[in-house]
Copies of this chain bind each other. A is one copy, B any other.
Amino acid sequence: MAIVEVTIIPIGTGSTALSSYVARCIGALREEGIKYEIHPMGTIIEGDLDRILSVVRKMHEVPFKEGASRVITTIEIDDRRDKEATAKGKVESVLSKL
C-alpha cells in the first residue's frame, strides 16, 4: 500500500484557469474505483503502487485529449513497508501529537 500525490499541469493553454483540466483528470480517476482525496495543490491516491501508477498514467493523458500539447505531471510516492500506512492515519498521527 502506497500513498501518492499527483499534480497535473497543462502548459500553453492560454488561460490561467486550470480547474476544468483538473476536473477531467479527476473524472478519469473516479472511474477507477480507487481511494482518493482532492486538496488545493494536488490529489492524493491510496492503494497498491502499481495500480496507482497505472491510474496516474491515464490521468496524465487527459489534458492531451482536451487539447493541451504539453503537460507537466508530478508524482510523489510515499511507500512505507514496515507498517500499514494510510492517508487518514498519517494526518491523524500528526494531529494527535500537536
Which positions in A face B, CB cutoff 8 Å?
3, 5, 7, 9, 11-20, 22-23, 26-27, 30, 37-42, 44, 46, 49-50, 53, 57, 60, 64, 69-83, 87-88, 90-91, 93-95, 97-98
Task: Give 15 A-B pairs besides A7-B76, A11-B80, A38-B94 with Cβ atoms closer than 8 angstroms.
Answer: A9-B72, A16-B69, A19-B93, A20-B97, A23-B95, A40-B78, A41-B44, A41-B76, A41-B90, A69-B80, A70-B78, A70-B79, A70-B81, A74-B76, A74-B77
> Which of B5, B27, B30 is close to A41, meaning CB atoms less than 8 Å apart?
B5
A4 CB to closest chain B CB, in angstroms? 8
Q: Give CA–CA (A16, B93) in the complex, Å.
A: 13
